[in-house]
């Protein structure tokens, strides 16, 4: 493996490690009294202001819009799937179920990405299909899918908590689907427009499309944001987990491929589980533990597809 590629793999690992801790940070903020939509707005506003600073510091011509309206619409789609809808479903899920549960279910995103990539490459012949990594459609993908589905079923229908967390678990799966859709196109758009511009567009449209969800909501009192546990977690989410990690992740996807990079997401639960046990004192039920293991195993098995054709 070339040294440059190895460094991008290390960067992907670092980003996933940070994102694994964000589940616990968001859970802490929700417990402190913040609404999921509020958390997203504050987090992405900080990140959006930061990305503009990076844009102004870049040399060369500064672009405000995409080269054509089709690409601008695609950035709108990416802002929804990788921004507002992804974080709204994920953050809302954390209000109904454990942080470790959400992390394990969201880590099904690599499996969904593989399936969507396979379908897209077979149905389309455009520049995005050519940029996607090849997906092995043999027995490994089928086996991985079945293992992951079995694990999800165990987690979703754990009898000890089905009435409490079913909504949260389903929302977590919705977040995984959003991230899989985001992963189909973001690598190519980053490659064509650059990581800073592409990330700025995602932040902008993510903030724009979250606004309807704020109508009629009661906002948290300002004194709540003065608490160290609140502003500390918000700074971590906004500047490191959003601004820094989104730029890094979009760059990683453009360099090592959408499937190879997204497969790192299966490590998310490892970081989340450790941090949740330390900070929140959470524990997995036996059925949840078995289901989690099956999901991870399924994602790993399904990820053993052919190497990139790029």
pLDDT tens readout for residues 173-210: 999 999 999 999 999 999 999 999 999 999 999 999 99
Distances (CA, A) of 107 to 70, 180, 206, 293, 295: 30, 10, 21, 11, 8
Does 209 fall in a domain?
Answer: yes
Confidence of residue 103 (pLDDT cuts 50, 70, 90): confident
Measured CA to CA, the distance from residue 68 to residue 157 in angstroms comes to 46
Better-predicted residue by pLDDT, 29 or 140:
29
When mean pLDDT is compared across 146-160, 179-193, 215-229, the lowest value belongs to: 146-160
Give a yes or no: residue 155 inside a domain: yes
Would 308 be classed as within a structural domain? no
Q: Between the CA of residue 80 and those of 100, 103, 137, 178, 193, what are the distances in Å?
A: 24, 20, 29, 8, 19
- Is residue 55 assigned to a domain? yes
Residue 267 makes CB contacts below 8 A (sequence gap 6+) with 13, 16, 17, 20, 107
Residue 226: pLDDT above 70?
Answer: yes
CA-to-CA dists, residue 174 to 4, 257, 295, angstroms: 34, 23, 16
Residues 109, 102: Cα–Cα separation, whole Å: 12
Output the pLDDT for position 155.
65
Q: Establish if 22 belongs to a structural domain.
A: yes
At 70, phi and psi to the nearest 5?
-65, -40
Q: Residue 239 and residue 185: Cα distance in Å, rounded?
A: 24
Nearest CA-CA partner of 301 in 146, 184, 154: 146
Angstrom distance (rounded) from CA 78 to CA 80: 5
* CA dist 219 → 31, 41, 89, 199 (Å): 15, 11, 19, 27
How many domains would you assign to the chain? Answer: 1
Residue 273 has pLDDT above 80, yes or no: no
Classify residue 14: in a domain, yes or no: yes
Q: Is residue 172 part of a domain?
A: yes
What range defines the domain where residue 233 resides?
A: 7-302
Evaluate if residue 163 carries a pLDDT over 70: no
Asked whether residue 244 carries a pLDDT value surpassing 90, the answer given is yes
Say if 68 falls within a structural domain.
Answer: yes
How far, in Å, CA of 290 to CA of 292, rounded? 5
- What's 212's DSSP letter? G
Determine whether 3 is exposed, middle or buried from the number of CB atoms within 10 Å of its CB (0-12, 13-18, 19+).
exposed
Residue of 36 and 304 predicted with greater confidence = 36
């Amino acid at each position: 493996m070339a040294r440059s590629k190895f460094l991008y793999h290390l960067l992907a690992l670092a980003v996933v490690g940070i994102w694994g801790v964000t589940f616990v940070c968001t859970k802490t903020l929700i417990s402190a009294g913040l609404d999921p939509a509020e958390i997203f707005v504050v987090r992405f506003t900080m990140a959006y202001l930061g990305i503009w600073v990076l844009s102004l510091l870049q040399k060369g011509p500064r672009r405000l819009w995409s080269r054509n309206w089709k690409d601008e619409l695609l950035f709108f789609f990416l802002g929804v799937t990788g921004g507002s809808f992804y974080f709204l479903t994920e953050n809302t899920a954390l209000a109904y179920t454990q942080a470790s549960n959400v992390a394990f279910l969201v880590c099904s995103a690599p499996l969904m990405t593989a399936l969507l990539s396979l379908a897209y490459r077979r149905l389309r012949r455009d520049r995005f299909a050519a940029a996607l990594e090849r997906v092995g459609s043999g027995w490994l993908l089928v086996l991985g899918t079945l293992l992951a589905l079995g694990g999800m079923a165990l987690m979703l229908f754990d009898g000890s908590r089905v009435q409490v967390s079913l909504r949260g678990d389903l929302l977590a799966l919705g977040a995984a689907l959003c991230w899989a859709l985001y992963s189909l196109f973001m690598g190519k758009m980053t490659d064509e427009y650059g990581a800073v511009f592409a990330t700025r567009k995602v932040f902008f449209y993510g903030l724009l499309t979250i606004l309807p969800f704020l109508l009629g909501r009661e906002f948290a009192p300002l004194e709540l944001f003065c608490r160290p546990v609140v502003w500390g977690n918000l700074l971590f989410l906004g500047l490191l987990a959003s601004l820094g990690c989104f730029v890094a992740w979009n760059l990683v996807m453009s360099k090592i491929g959408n499937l190879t990079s997204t497969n790192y997401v299966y490590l998310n639960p490892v970081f989340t589980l450790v941090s949740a046990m330390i900070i929140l004192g959470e524990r997995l039920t036996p059925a949840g533990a078995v289901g989690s293991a099956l999901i991870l195993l399924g994602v790993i098995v399904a990820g053993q597809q052919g190497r990139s054709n790029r």
